[in-house]
A and B are shown apart, each in its own frame.
Chain A
Amino acid sequence: MPTRTGAQIIWECLVNEEVHTVFGYPGGAILPAYDAMLDYPVRHVLVRHEQGATHMADGFARAGGGVGVAMATSGPGATNMVTGIATAMMDSSPIVCITGQVPGKLIGYDAFQETDITGITLPITKHSYLVTRAEDIMPAMKEAFHLAKSGRPGPVLVDITKDAQQASVEWMWDPRPVQMRGYRSDLPVTREDLARAAALIRGTRRPVILVGQGVIQSGATRELLALAERIDAPIAMTLLGLGGVPASHPLNLGMMGMHGEAWVNHAIQEADLLLAFGMRFDDRVTGNVKTYAPHAKKIHVDIDPSEINKNVRADAAIVADLRETLVDLLDVLEPADHEGWLAHIDGMKGDAAVRDIQKLPDTGHLYAAHVINDIWRITGGNAVVVTDVGQHQMWEAQYYHHEVPRSLITSGGLGTMGFALPAAIGAKIARPDAEVWAIVGDGGFQMTQAELATAAQEGIKINVAIINNGYLGMVRQWQEFFYERRYAATPLRSPDFLKIADAHGLEGFRAEKRSQVNDVVERARAADGTALIDFRVEQEDSVYPMVPAGADLHAMIRRPERTVLAETGADPV
């Protein structure tokens, strides 16, 4: 058998796992691995902060459907990854994080840059490994990739001591599939569960299908649409589900929950059956669970058994891959017709549609929703959009209409500000032919702004739209609604973003009027490298409708008549 160092084994494993790109930052305890890297055909993207590496790996995984890999040294390198790991955990994103650790004999002695990263990340990883011997690296790496991408995906951390990287052992790649006796990801659909679900579906008169990210992760779009059409049921989407069903499909109602449109939430509250497919009844989706969909039986399909009966009690549950479940359901279900129910929901849409921002006249003011809707129009809806967290994220969900899976990448569960820029870089590397837009707020952008330098150094072409309202906008909105407009710590003075772009050798543009939007968007698209647009939008705009946290889903704050209308006296269209 040939001899390899532990450091070489790390890269041998990555190459065998078909990893072409690693996002990382070197340091003392991971130096042997970095030294060995030069002999392997793997692209390394040098980030500016390890949090950026984890978000890039995450964006890479979500955009491309593979596993993202991030690498860092021990101590602060590893702890800087924590936010990115937690983000990936909450959104079930498959990433593998490799960290260097101090030599085994120093563990526990508070050595320089020693930290217990497997301990720190225990509750925010799907699983983790502390590897202290070179011969244990391959089993840990193989299991890490298997765990990250199978079942309900998630982040896995592999912490490898420096001496394990330096040691030499006889080594050969073991091509056999991973066997882990305590881990099962391929649970079958049982006949009893299927029959129970099918019986509920046959008896329904007012069904609503709830679609989460599971439809994207199991590649079940086609089967889902076939089922929705077969049983004639409308579809409501979670934030992470967007793109899993085409926005233009007549049965797709749009996003549900805290900032979902009123008709979507009302449809759920009036439904007699909810078919929850690959979603987890997050509190942002249900509002008050005690009054949630009170007339509805619930069918819950999820690959993670611990999601069943966690937030909402299921009347029928199937723990299995969603696509396989839908195929099995399609085998047993007859066509149904819910024309009256669909017409009723359509009727609820009516009054909201007139307030639709797309139909507002151009008064010269710049609204974030205008900007996002224009980007949607100009890109033909074909861009991969990566958003940060806050108002712009919700406006994106409302006004950029996603037609295909993996075209919206956003931090949903953890709500991580600073996610978008690095995740967009990762997304672009996963899909170099895609047009990638990072839509960010002025607050979140500044959290990971340093990664602009990474984009510049790597020659990566993305477009960054800063929705700049001079506030931490979503917090300001909560202060406006729930804290008597006391704007504690939300006004935000930002640097000149065009100079920031310029300092990185990147092009920057600014728009203050709607009439300028088209031009700056086209110029950003035409720029060779990453381009940044500073959109100076209305400062105190709010996202509507809104279900206050913990309130009943049907008790939403409605979109008021737009101030823009009052100012101009224009009639609503």
Chain B
Amino acid sequence: MHHTLVALVEDKPGVLNRVASLFRRRNFNIESLTVGRTAEPGISRMTIVIDSDQASAERVTAYLYKLVNVLQVEDLGMVPAVARDLALVKVAVAGHDRGALLRVVDETRAHIVDTGEQTMTLEITGEPPHVDAVISRLEPLGIVEMVRTGQVAMRRGDTALSAAQYS
């Protein structure tokens, strides 16, 4: 089962290493990990997707809290949340009907962000299953390069995750 953990961490050298090392050390497999800034100065936000059972997700949450630079952890598997993944996909266009590709773009809310002589680059944003689905429709057309950001997620509703209480 997938668990999406969100951690607010202090933006200090080595913090990413500490978090990543924890998952390796405790034998958890990271499916995706993203880091970025938050609205609060000095606070970064990590979104970590792991494949584990509920008990293991609770264990890893406790281990994350043991890291001195980790301020708050939330398991978004437990609450209603909105999740987004973004992919850039370069698809071959030479040698087959461009119409097939444009149909996929039309029907899936993908965006064309670049065109070359031999390829076209699409941006796909959405829930991870949506991105998966679009990619599987593009595969028969010939994907020559692809990148995914990994998932970011946020709880729905007015409740906000903030490090303010720790300042």
Partners in one complex: yes
Interface residues of A (CB under 8 A from B): 118-119, 122-123, 126-127, 130, 147, 180-183, 304-306, 308-310
Complex Cα–Cα for A123 and B69 (A): 14
Complex Cα–Cα for A126 and B67 (A): 8
Complex Cα–Cα for A310 and B61 (A): 12
Who on chain A is nearest to B42 by CB?
Answer: A181
- Contact status A306-B166, CB under 8 Å: no
Apart from A127-B68, A304-B66, what are 12 other A-B pairs with CB-CB below 8 Å? Answer: A122-B17, A122-B21, A181-B71, A181-B163, A181-B166, A181-B167, A182-B10, A182-B69, A183-B68, A306-B62, A309-B59, A310-B62
List A contacts of B17 (CB < 8 A).
119, 122
| Closest-CB distance, A325 to chain B (whole angstroms) | 18
- Contact status A182-B62, CB under 8 Å: no
**Would you list the 9 A-B pairs with minimal beta carbon distance, nearest first?**
A306-B62, A181-B166, A123-B25, A127-B68, A182-B71, A183-B68, A305-B62, A122-B21, A182-B68
| Closest-CB distance, B69 to chain A (whole angstroms) | 5
Which residues of chain B (56-91) have a CB below 8 Å from chain A? Answer: 58-59, 62-63, 65-71
Which residues of chain B (113-167) have a CB below 8 Å from chain A? Answer: 163, 166-167
> By the criterion of a CB under 8 Å from any partner CB, how many residues of chain B are at the interface?
24
- Contact status A180-B68, CB under 8 Å: yes
Give the interface SS of chain B, mostly helix, strand, loop or mixed: helix
Who on chain B is nearest to A304 by CB?
Answer: B66
Complex Cα–Cα for A182 and B69 (A): 5
- Contact status B67-A182, CB under 8 Å: yes
| Closest-CB distance, A297 to chain B (whole angstroms) | 18
Cβ of B99 under 8 Å from chain A: no
Cβ of B18 under 8 Å from chain A: yes
- Contact status A122-B18, CB under 8 Å: yes
| Most chain A beta-carbon neighbours within 10 Å: one of B9, B17, B63, B66 | B66
List B contacts of A180 (CB < 8 A).
68
Cβ of B13 under 8 Å from chain A: yes
- Contact status B14-A118, CB under 8 Å: yes
Cβ of B39 under 8 Å from chain A: no
Complex Cα–Cα for A304 and B65 (A): 10
| Closest-CB distance, B107 to chain A (whole angstroms) | 46
Which residues of chain B (11-63) have a CB below 8 Å from chain A? Answer: 13-14, 17-18, 21-22, 25, 55, 58-59, 62-63
| Closest-CB distance, A240 to chain B (whole angstroms) | 20
| Closest-CB distance, A96 to chain B (whole angstroms) | 15
For this complex, 5 residue pairs linking A to B, each with C-beta atoms less than 8 Å apart, are A126-B68, A127-B68, A182-B9, A306-B65, A310-B62
- Contact status B59-A130, CB under 8 Å: no
Complex Cα–Cα for A308 and B58 (A): 10
Who on chain A is nearest to B65 by CB?
Answer: A305
List A contacts of B166 (CB < 8 A).
181-182
Complex Cα–Cα for A123 and B21 (A): 7
| Closest-CB distance, A300 to chain B (whole angstroms) | 13
| Closest-CB distance, B58 to chain A (whole angstroms) | 7
Who on chain A is nearest to B163 by CB?
Answer: A181
List A contacts of B70 (CB < 8 A).
182
List B contacts of A305 (CB < 8 A).
62, 65
